[in-house]
Amino acid sequence: MKKLWGGRFTQTAEEWVDEFGASISFDQQLVLEDIEGSLAHVTMLASCGIVTEEEAELIKKGLYEIKEKAEKDELSFSVELEDIHLNIESLLTEMIGPVGGKLHTGRSRNDQVAVDMHLYLRNQVEHILDLITEMQKELVTLAEQHVETIMPGYTHLQRAQPISFAHHLLAYFWMLERDKARYIDNLNRINVSPLGAGALAGTTFPIDRYLSAEILGFDSIYENSLDAVSDRDFILEFMSASSILMMHLSRFAEEIILWSSQEFQFIELSDSFSTGSSIMPQKKNPDMAELIRGKSGRVYGNLFGLLTILKGLPLAYNKDMQEDKEGMFDTVKTVSGSLKIFAGMIRTMKVKSAQMEKATQNDFSNATELADYLSAKGLPFRQAHEIVGELVLICVQKGCYLKDLNLEEFQKASALFEADIYEALEPKTAVKRRNSAGGTGFSQVYHAIEKAKECMK
């Protein structure tokens, strides 16, 4: 098959070389965006008198027919035609004749592929934002049910202080809110039109780049044609935001895995998001959470892969940049799937409230309450800290907990201790009293839930 760009060539590549250089196996995912960009381009060409209205209408009619077939998955693509752009142009020319060749007037595949990816990422980021919001809704719904469910809070994976389970869940809500903000900011760079930049230097045709940008819903155009065709910052930003999001999901997945273990028994995952063992009948494995934790690595890899591809490229377009798409597609698929799975896990998991609260009883996570108790009575915190540390050591040596010490033992350590110390040691009291802004106190958590709901409106 003679290449559409083959006028200067006297030989054609062997089939395996064509296959190595072709991108149609993956960039066919851009078929609808490519048609959308072409429709805007031909509308602009007609508006500027570069093609006639009759030619433009014929081209549009052909493009709409191709679009209809694409939506029904009825198109066949050719490796010999390399990419989605030449495949569609060839289909169009077969359909309407030589006038189809006028569609490419005033543009290059370099700005064409760039506009396709801008359109694709805009659509996908908006979808991802919706998925993040859905996961946030599940978090808030579960949090509302467990404001007064007490669980151990951890540092260094050691029990630290008792907290509200809702408070723990809402920590992930706010991480996701920051993720949304990063994607929304990313849209500012995504929503810029490279169309009309040509191969690298613009075009001699009297095109109107602002009109085509307006038709496609872009906020602005690239001000430099070299930059327009060589920029992939907007994809790097997307992959960076996605890597941070996946890191958040991976951290949450790790906790889901721990909580569902026999050692914790804080939650039980639905059968829908668990698997069994081929040899051990009793097993119920948190495989979906483990997969999300694992898939964070491939998203990181996609980011570093594209950074490496771009780091040594001279301006403007280079064939290396064909490698920008598969990682982008994979990141979109991975992030979207992970968010859907996570929302489902949260919605269907069983929370074992009694087991959580039991875990706060037999430990030293109430030690800070003792130090705060003494400080509230005027003792400098450092002295209070030392006294409580000595009491903890006594308990360790005796094999008991702070609540098991009698009042005489407390008063021997400090005369400031009174009979109300046992109430202060109760985990629920400890949680309830922490009402500083953003704290785990119940009134603060109820307030945080209302703020979270406002964010999702």
CA atoms within a 13 Å half-sphere pointing along the CA-CB vector of 136 = 26
- pLDDT value of residue 98: 95
Alpha-carbon gap, residue 121 to 125, rounded angstroms: 6
DSSP 319-332: GGGGGGHHHHHHHH
Q: How many residues does the chain have?
A: 457
List, in order of start, the domains of the chain with CATH numbers.
6-105 (1.10.275.10), 110-207+217-356 (1.20.200.10), 367-455 (1.10.40.30)
pLDDT digits (tens, 9 = 90+) for 219-254: 999 999 999 999 999 999 999 999 999 999 999 999
Residue 116 CB contacts under 8 Å (≥ 6 apart), including other chains: 27, 30, 33, 34, 37, 84
- pLDDT value of residue 5: 46
Distance of CA 251 to the CA centre of its chain: 13
**Which among 261, 270, 272, 277 is annotated as catalytic?**
277
Percent of the chain whose predicted confidence (pLDDT) is above 90: 85
Binned at pLDDT 50, 70 and 90, residue 365 comes out as confident
- pLDDT value of residue 178: 98
pLDDT digits (tens, 9 = 90+) for 186-222: 999 999 999 999 999 999 999 999 999 999 999 999 9
C-beta contacts of 143-149 below 8 A and 24+ residues apart: 143/169, 143/170, 143/173, 143/445, 143/449, 143/452, 144/449, 145/351, 146/351, 146/353, 147/442, 147/445, 147/446, 147/449, 148/428, 148/442, 149/351, 149/353, 149/356, 149/357
**Which among 156, 193, 272, 278 is annotated as catalytic?**
156
pLDDT digits (tens, 9 = 90+) for 425-440: 899 998 999 999 999 9
User: CB neighbours (10 Å) of residue 135?
Assistant: 25
What mean pLDDT is predicted for residues 173-189?
Answer: 98
Alpha-carbon gap, residue 280 to 275, rounded angstroms: 11
Does residue 375 carry a catalytic annotation? no
- pLDDT value of residue 22: 74
pLDDT digits (tens, 9 = 90+) for 123-159: 999 999 999 999 999 999 999 999 999 999 999 999 9
Does residue 127 carry a catalytic annotation? no
Question: Which tokens belong to 75?
Answer: 């198109």
The SS3 of residue 32 is: helix
The SS3 of residue 192 is: strand
Binned at pLDDT 50, 70 and 90, residue 13 comes out as low
